[in-house]
Chains A and B, each alone.
Chain A
Amino acid sequence: MEKKPSSSLDYALVFGALMLLWVILSGKLDAFHLSLGLISCAAVTWMSGDLLIGAGSSLGLARRMVRLFRFLNYLLWLTWQIVLANIAVFKLAFAPRTAWQPHIVWHRTALTTDLEKFLLANSITLTPGTVTVRIFGDMLCIHAIDDVSAAGINGEMDRRIAHIFE
Chain B
Amino acid sequence: MQTEWTASIRADELGFRVEAKALLQRVRLHADQGQLVGLIGPNGAGKSTLLRAIAGVLRPQEGAVWLEGEELDSLPAKDVAARMALVPQIAPYTHGFTARELVLMGRYPHLGRFQIEGAADEAIAREAMELTETDEFADRTLDTLSGGERQRVFVSRALAQQPRVLLLDEPTANLDVLHKLRVLDLVRRLVDEGLTAVAAIHDLGMAARYCDRLVLLNGGRVLAEGPPEEVLVPEIIESAFGVRSAVYRDPVTGSLTVSLIAPADENGSHPPEPVAKGGNGRAAQHPQDSRTVGPGPRADEL
- A complexed with B: no
